[in-house]
Structure 1
Amino acid sequence: MSDRLLAAHLTAGPAGVPKGLRTVATAADRDSLLAHTQAASFKDLLAKERLRFSQHAEQRLRQRGIVLQPDQLDRIANAVDRAATKGAKDSLVIFRDIAMIVNVPNRTVVTAMDGSSVKDHVFTQIDSAVVVA
Structure 2
Amino acid sequence: MGSSAAVRELQRDLENKANDLSKIQKDISKNHQVRKKYTIQLGENELVLKELDLLSEDANVFKLIGPVLVKQDLAEANANVRKRIEKRLDSTLQDLEEKQNSKKDSVLKLQQKIQSIQAGKAKA
**TM-score, normalized by length of structure 1?**
0.31
Relative to total residues, which structure has the larger helix share, 1 or 2? 2
Relative to total residues, which structure has the larger strand share, 1 or 2? 1
